[in-house]
Structure 1
Amino acid sequence: MSDYHILYAPAKINLFLKVTGKGADGYHSLFTLFQKVTLFDHIIIRKAEKGIKLSCPQGTVPEDERNIAYQAASFFYKVTGLSPGVDIEIRKNIPVAAGLGGGSSDASCVLNGLQDLYGNPCARDNLSSIGSKLGADVPFFLEPYTMAIGRGIGDRLEPISSPPPLWFVLISPCFPVSTKWAYENLTLTTRKNLFIFSPEHVINIEQFLHNDLEEVTASQYPVIHTMKEYLLSYGAEGALMTGSGPTVFGLFKEKEKARLAYERLRSDSDWAVYLVRSL
């Protein structure tokens, strides 16, 4: 069994996100559709003599217990009773605090990587429980499927079998948005907003793009609207902010149209632009 693993942590987008309520514990309940995409952080995990050491060469994330990937390793050792001994290196490609789930994906990669390194000492249910404690997106990243409906806080998952191939152009305006801030500033209403989605609707997903958090973030950062307008003018079938933002995606069903939009945006703007496809 290897003492060294290189893992790839994908980003995700929310193809829709409805906030359906708020529990007594302060957590919001969601109805969302997760999609993994081909933008990856690289995670290198090595067995070490003792302790947990985390590094990020770019210096874009904390390298201590404030990092969710570090917390994942700590939980793993506590649950399994194993003595801590791992070096974790995170090479970031996914923008930080951008609505793309990069931290959650890194944490899930660390959990799955430690499972492999130690011969699967943690029961699957325990691993999922760790994931839920770390963050609402982590359980989705722990699973092998690439698209799923999320309910509860996002941890009750219904996988979508045979999802359609999709292309996306992502625009990140290179400033962070706090998920906590977005939810704290969301006004929940009692009016009934009918939103019905079932797995067979995924073939026409462009008709279901909606994000309750977009209005919150865009009220503070109007550039969200500008980025959407660019994507639609360049041929996207739909455009939406993902998660709590500020990243916006344009959805394309044809690779060539997505590529052309990507090239135009790279030349016409100073934003970080990514061409990705669904996993």
Structure 2
Amino acid sequence: MPEPGPLSLPAPAKLNRLLHITGRRADGYHELQTLFQFLDHGDTLHLRRRDDGAIRLCPAMAGVPTGQNLIVRAARALQAETGCRLGADIRLDKRLPLGGGLGGGSSDAATALLGLDALWGLALPLDRLAELGLTLGADVPVFVRGHAAWGEGVGERLTPVALDTPWFVVVHPGVEVATAAVFGAPELTRHTPPITMARALQGGASSWRNDCEATVRGLHPPVAKAIDWLSARAPALLTGTGACVFARLDSEAEADRLLDEIAGRWQAFKARGLNRSPLHDALDR
């Protein structure tokens, strides 16, 4: 059997179209209800098999020791789970900002898990890969499963959903938001009454909100400025704990016009909302 060739795979961004915090657990984690959706924009991982078991990642990420990088941790977790003695050279084309609420690190980890599973010929069940992903971070399983989803618990209990697929303009206000600081803020709303998935979907995008937004506004005035500016032009929300904010547009032409207006103010990009991850499309090909 020929050795599998190198793989180049997407690690897409996600948006939280809705994010409610319904409680705080004894271990300090928060109970959430959220709607995850993918974008046709993100990082790219290039994977090449090694026979010596070594995991080599380049380029190194500033401020992140290699052993703590989620890509390397994902690869080593897969080796430990399966006893696989193969390794990989991994090159990351990084497009998603750190601390942006777009799930970049979690998406990179999921792409590493699924890509290396294919490259090494392991064929682990998707459920097991999602379980491994959860040991790396609460957002990793949705990227592993690859479908827009209603998430509960810490975001790991997932039910596939079909959401509208508009165009989005995503703005990075130029600050990095620490998730721990947001969830640790005393003013954070933590007791939104739980709702059913059906009720959330029935309410539609016009009723969706992010419970972290008020706290992030207070901690990071540039985020508040970006949300206010976007909201004057289209429905806008914070994604995750930020820093990125997004506006929903009905057409690509509207997205282009908004990008033209943003030019020079912030870093921004346009993307289409997706219900199926482009990672899974690439692996199927």
Same-fold call, TM cutoff 0.5: yes
Structure 2 counterpart of 1:153, one-letter code: V
Q: 1:212 to 1:50 in 2, by over 3 A?
A: same
C-alpha displacement of 1:229: 2.0
Structure 2 counterpart of 1:246, one-letter code: A
What does residue 256 of structure 1 align with? 253
Distance 1:210 1:197 in 2: 15
The answer to whether residue 248 in structure 2 is matched with residue 275 in structure 1 is no
Give the alignment of 1:33-72 within 5 angstroms. Answer: 33-48=35-50, 49-56=52-59, 59-60=61-62, 62=64, 64-72=66-74
Is contact 2:168-2:249 (8 Å) kept? yes
Distance 1:164 1:203 in 2: 12
CA RMSD of superposed structures (Å): 2.1
Give the alignment of 1:164-203 within 5 angstroms. Answer: 164-187=164-187, 193-194=192-193, 196=195, 198-199=197-198, 202=201
Is contact 2:23-2:32 (8 Å) kept? yes
Distance 2:217 2:232 in 1: 19
Distance 1:240 1:189 in 2: 16
Distance 2:65 2:167 in 1: 33
C-alpha displacement of 1:88: 1.1
Structure 2 counterpart of 1:262, one-letter code: L
SS in 1 for 2:109: helix
Alignment counterpart, residue 239 of structure 2, candidates 235, 242, 266: 242
C-alpha displacement of 1:218: 1.2
C-alpha displacement of 1:228: 1.5
Structure 2 counterpart of 1:172, one-letter code: H
Is contact 2:117-2:124 (8 Å) kept? yes
Structure 2 counterpart of 1:74, one-letter code: R
What does residue 230 of structure 1 align with? 229
- In structure 1, list runs of 5 or more residues that go unmatched: none
What does residue 209 of structure 1 align with? 208
Structure 2 counterpart of 1:211, one-letter code: N
TM-score by length of 2: 0.88
Provide Cα deviations, 1:41-100, integer angstroms capped at 9, x if missing partner: 01011111331111127x456361111111101100000011251111111001111110
C-alpha displacement of 1:253: 2.0
Distance 1:86 1:24 in 2: 39
Structure 2 counterpart of 1:157, one-letter code: L
Q: 1:188 to 1:233 in 2, by over 3 A?
A: closer
Q: 1:52 to 1:68 in 2, by over 3 A?
A: same
C-alpha displacement of 1:232: 2.3
Q: 1:273 to 1:188 in 2, by over 3 A?
A: closer
Provide Cα deviations, 1:1-51, integer angstroms capped at 9, x if missing partner: 523110000000101111111222222111001111122101011111331
Give the count of matched residue pairs.
Answer: 271
